[in-house]
């Protein structure tokens, strides 16, 4: 189960999905959550697509790609997805996650009410050909493709 400092952050609706937002000002370098999950291995097809075996690939953390296999961390069956699991992508992220430790910390000070984001490109070691997760709108946190 992932851990989230719910004194600092909360999950709110944003653009038809969920996101993580600061409850109050947060200093740079503050740990706000730790990812957890089950390590799993997925086959990679010749066209580069992953066979997620019915799981939600958007919730994966890619660790290594080798010999046609993707090694990833996935949510554990029966464990509720919550807190830091809902952190969204931005190419102008205000947090980072170390894929070796999966600890999420702020890069800079965060104002109360500001959405926390990480750059999935920095976190996922395997890009799987996806250039960006941004929606192509500039709301101050998402990049324009």
* The pLDDT of residue 125: 46
Over residues 42-101, the pLDDT tens digits come to 988 888 788 899 888 888 877 777 788 888 888 888 888 889 888 888 888 899 887 566
Specify the DSSP class assigned to residue 21.
E
The span from the CA of 69 to the CA of 62, in Å, is 11
Query: Which residue would you say has higher pLDDT here, 33 or 46?
Result: 33
* The pLDDT of residue 129: 52
Could you give the 3-state DSSP secondary structure of residue 136?
coil
Contacts of 84 (CB under 8 A, 6+ apart): 2, 3, 4, 9, 20, 32, 33, 34, 35, 104
Q: What is the mean pLDDT of residues 15-30?
A: 94
Q: What angle do CA 16, 17, 20 make, to 5 degrees?
A: 130
* The pLDDT of residue 85: 87
The span from the CA of 78 to the CA of 59, in Å, is 14
Over residues 108-135, the pLDDT tens digits come to 999 999 999 887 766 554 455 555 556 5
Map out the domains of the chain with their CATH numbers: 3-123 (2.170.270.10)
Residues 102 and 61: beta-carbon distance below 8 Å: yes
pTM metric for this prediction = 0.67
pLDDT above 50: residue 144: no
């Amino acid at each position: 189960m992932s851990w989230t400092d719910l004194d600092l952050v909360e999950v709110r609706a944003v653009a038809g999905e969920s996101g993580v937002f600061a409850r109050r000002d947060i200093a740079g370098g503050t740990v706000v959550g730790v990812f957890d999950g089950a390590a799993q291995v997925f086959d990679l097809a010749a066209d580069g697509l992953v066979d997620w075996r019915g799981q939600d690939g958007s919730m994966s953390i890619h660790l290594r790609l080798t010999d046609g296999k993707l090694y990833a961390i996935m949510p554990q069956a029966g464990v509720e997805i919550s807190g830091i699991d809902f952190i969204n992508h931005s190419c102008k992220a205000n947090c980072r996650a170390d894929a070796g430790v999966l600890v999420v910390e702020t890069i800079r000070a965060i104002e109360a009410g500001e959405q926390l984001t990480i750059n999935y490109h920095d976190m996922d070691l395997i890009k799987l050909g996806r250039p960006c997760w941004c929606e192509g709108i500039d709301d101050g946190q998402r990049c324009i493709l």
